[in-house]
Amino acid sequence: MSTDSSREIKLCLVYRDMWQSSGKYMPRVDQLTRVAGPIIDMGCFSRVETNGGGFEQINLLFGENPNRAVRDWTQPFNDVGIQTQMLERGLNGIRMSPVPIDVRKLMFKVKKKQGTDISRSFDGLNDVRNIKDSIVYAKEGGMIAQAALSITVSKVHTVDYYLKMAFELIEHGADEIAVKDMAGIGRPVSMGKIIAGIKAKHPNILVQYHGHSTPGFSVASALEAARAGADIIDVGMEPLSWGTGHADLLTIHAMLEDAGFKLPPINMEAYMEVRKLTQEFIDDFLGYYIDPRNRYMSSLLIGPGLPGGMMGSLMADLENNLKNVNSWLNKRNKPQITQDDLLIKLFEEVEYVWPKLGYPPLVTPYSQYVKNVALMNVMQMIKGRDRWSMIADNVWDMILGRSGKVPGEVSPYLIELASKQGHEFFSGHPQDLYPDALDEFRKEMDENGWDYGEDEEELLELAMHPEQYRHFKSGKAKTDFMADLAKRKAAGKGVVETENKTAETNSVPSFQPKKMNIDVNGEKYVVTVSYDSAETKQSGSNGVEKNSSESSSHPNAKEITAPIEGVFYLTKEPSETPVKIGDVIKEGDVIGYIESMKVYNAISADQSGKIVEICFDNATSIEEDDVLIKVV
């Protein structure tokens, strides 16, 4: 292990990840460009994480063009020579599901031209085959290819396991290695051993350490990483450091200086400006999507090992799940449970299911898959149903090897269940299952008269995030977001943080407006605000009147209901043909999908017959037990 503590250590501000680890949304592009200058003026960063991961998808969700955001946000850093880096998910690109090969290749070319220098590529299963492809595509696109080791702790995830993986990635052409401790559960000494082992064999390979602070190891891990030879340490800063986020810049800077390392000084006047602006963004609207519990650290997460980046959305998910469970319990006159009860049940179930799923690293998207299986099991068991009675398509793909090979052995029970349900295991290269698809999306762009955009960046967005991009283009995304924000503001629901206090307000005032006039950057919107009440139940979860004209003539129609809450889709892929009125279906046929907790669940008919009514439009929010389709 290196004992040279007089060398220079560089710092990277993970500004994107600070937000994603805290809540649901990112700042708007006008806010990002305002904060870029003060970040530069701080004078202590050699790199800034600007985009990738959920960044572009989040832009689309609140109706903003992500390509304009990336170009405008990276430009100030490009101008002064601060490197910009993005996070990408290997086979999954910058979304939660596998991406066609030509779309992956285009992504790297576009992101480089938009101003992103470095691609930090990881695979949620640590399958080197998927990261190897990213290394090749990143270099072809002109980017620096940084390959990441996704750190987790299990009997199969040892120091030797990670060293072997790092050496393979370097052999395949990785320019740099990231030690990505996304849950912050990597033990400090082991982090040091991994980095020292990499440096001993490849002293000229740049190593960057990234650790979330959630269970409390990351400060010690950062010191061990630096002593072992790490070149760059990722940091967060107030008011979004700690909690499910990252160790704070001031703490890491002071600690490393005390250890004798050389670091550039921090311009504290600029630091306070960045801090003030970030707080302003929280007060503006982002605080309504930040659960206050995400601002705290918790050693409870050492057991389940769930990552900080996921905890931001987990608490929002639990809010809906708890409501769903308690509604079910209330209808049956059973005692309700608290969110803490549900959280502990979830953590215990994660520890139970994780080994049976083959120890997939607890990183996006597989941390979500493990969590979702566990949460679904908990909810089903609360309702008296069997464990494993609902497994999402994405989870099956993971189990079956369609996304890569899990590090451990899948439970014999799940292997048998797969066989009973007609699933087949796959041992080939995962990318082979997802061939080129850009021509299909070009056709859609042409039919709609949509411009491909500079460097075909708009084509990339459609291909990478089809549903979200279509809603962005139609204006639905902006309208839905503004309605949700208006509802939260009217109800006082969310987190409003100030310099002197953090206030969580969940009380609903007596005045609940039906419509609100909202001004966003000079654009005026009139949004309709719905509330959870009998009034909304009459029209379905999204407030759209259900068309019962045909089914009214079939009073004995049989109902196919939603087994879970989420967003209902008639199809998952563009190549699928949706069911329609008049179709004859049989029990077991897939009639649609419900996206819940970021995964798609195939919904099979439990009734046979002719479809006389489809009760919800595509991409509509629904609740458990809502009637999806009626048949006779």
195-211 mean pLDDT: 98
Q: Is 2 within the bounds of a domain?
A: no
Candidate from 134-138, 166-170, 531-535 with smallest mean pLDDT: 531-535
Q: Is 444 within the bounds of a domain?
A: no
27-50 mean pLDDT: 97
Tell me the residue range of the domain where 575 lies: 541-631
Q: Decide which of 289, 310, 327 is a domain's last residue.
A: 289
286-304 mean pLDDT: 82
**What local confidence, expressed as pLDDT, does residue 493 receive?**
56
Task: Examine the domain organization and report whether 285 and 311 are in the same domain.
Answer: no
**What local confidence, expressed as pLDDT, does residue 574 receive?**
64
Q: Is 501 within the bounds of a domain?
A: no
- 413-425 tens-digit pLDDT: 999 999 998 899 9
**What local confidence, expressed as pLDDT, does residue 187 receive?**
95
- Contact criterion met (CB below 8 Å) for 570 and 600: no
Task: Examine the domain organization and report whether 390 and 254 are in the same domain.
Answer: no
Task: Examine the domain organization and report whether 214 and 252 are in the same domain.
Answer: yes
Q: What Å distances lie between residue 60 and 26, 298, 386, 462, 477, CA to CA?
A: 11, 32, 37, 10, 7
Q: Is 251 within the bounds of a domain?
A: yes
322-347 mean pLDDT: 84
Task: Examine the domain organization and report whether 245 and 327 are in the same domain.
Answer: no
473-480 mean pLDDT: 93
Percent of the chain with pLDDT over 70: 87
Band (pLDDT 50/70/90 cuts) for residue 523 is: low
Candidate from 41-50, 104-113, 462-471, 493-502 with smallest mean pLDDT: 493-502
Q: Decide which of 433, 448, 471 is a domain's last residue.
A: 433
Task: Examine the domain organization and report whether 428 and 551 are in the same domain.
Answer: no
Task: Examine the domain organization and report whether 257 and 351 are in the same domain.
Answer: no
Instruction: Give, as one character, the DSSP assignment of residue 212.
Output: B
Task: Examine the domain organization and report whether 259 and 307 are in the same domain.
Answer: no
Q: Is 439 within the bounds of a domain?
A: no
309 has a pLDDT exceeding 70: no
Q: Is 118 within the bounds of a domain?
A: yes
Q: Is 475 within the bounds of a domain?
A: no
**What local confidence, expressed as pLDDT, does residue 196 receive?**
98
How far apart CA 322 and CA 336 sit, in angstroms, is 9
Task: Examine the domain organization and report whether 109 and 215 are in the same domain.
Answer: yes
240-250 mean pLDDT: 94
Task: Examine the domain organization and report whether 193 and 317 are in the same domain.
Answer: no
Task: Examine the domain organization and report whether 243 and 266 are in the same domain.
Answer: yes
How far apart CA 50 and CA 106 sit, in angstroms, is 19
Strands 609-614 and 599-604: unpaired
CATH number at residue 187: 3.20.20.70
Percent of the chain with pLDDT over 90: 58
Total number of domains constituting the chain: 3
Task: Examine the domain organization and report whether 366 and 260 are in the same domain.
Answer: no
For residue 131, give both structure tokens: 């990261």
Task: Examine the domain organization and report whether 242 and 351 are in the same domain.
Answer: no
Q: Is 469 within the bounds of a domain?
A: no
527 has a pLDDT exceeding 60: no
- 558-600 tens-digit pLDDT: 899 888 778 888 887 766 788 999 999 988 888 998 887 667 7
CATH number at residue 590: 2.40.50.100
Q: Decide which of 289, 320, 343 is a domain's last residue.
A: 289
Closest CA to 112 of 64, 145, 65, 148: 145
